[in-house]
Amino acid sequence: MLQTEEILVERYQLQRVLGKSAIRQTWLAQDLTNQEQVVVKLLTANDQLQWYDIQLFEREAKVLRQLNHLRIPQYYDDFVLERDVIYFALVQEYIAAKSIKELLASGKIFSETEVREIAIAVLKILIYLHKLNPPVLHRDIKPSNLLLDESTNKNRIYLVDFGAVQDRVAAEGATFTVVGTYGYAPLEQFGGRATPASDLYALGATLINLATGISPADLPQFDSRMQFSHLVEFNPGLIKWLQQMTEPNLEYRFGKATEALEALEINELAINNHNHKKKIIIIIKKIIKIKITRFSTLLYYQ
Written as one letter, the residue type at 114 is E
Helix (H) or strand (E) segment spanning residue 128: helix 112-130
CB 215 within 8 A of CB 204: no
Q: How many CB atoms lie within 10 A of CB 184?
A: 26
Name the DSSP letter for residue 171: P
Q: How far apart are CA 114 and CA 155, in angstroms?
A: 9
Written as one letter, the residue type at 22 is A
Q: Active-site residue 140, yes or no?
A: yes
DSSP structure string for 45-109: -STT--HHHHHHHHHHHHHHHH---TTSPPEEEEEEEESSSEEEEEEEE----EEHHHHHHTT--
228 alpha carbon, distance to own chain's centre: 19
Query: CB under 8 Å to 283, separation ≥6 — which residues?
Result: none
Helix (H) or strand (E) segment spanning residue 25: strand 24-31
9 — alpha (psi -120 to 50), left (phi > 0) or beta? Answer: left
183 — alpha (psi -120 to 50), left (phi > 0) or beta? Answer: left
Q: Which of 53, 140, 161, 199 is labelled catalytic? A: 140
CB 211 within 8 A of CB 219: no
Catalytic site positions: 140
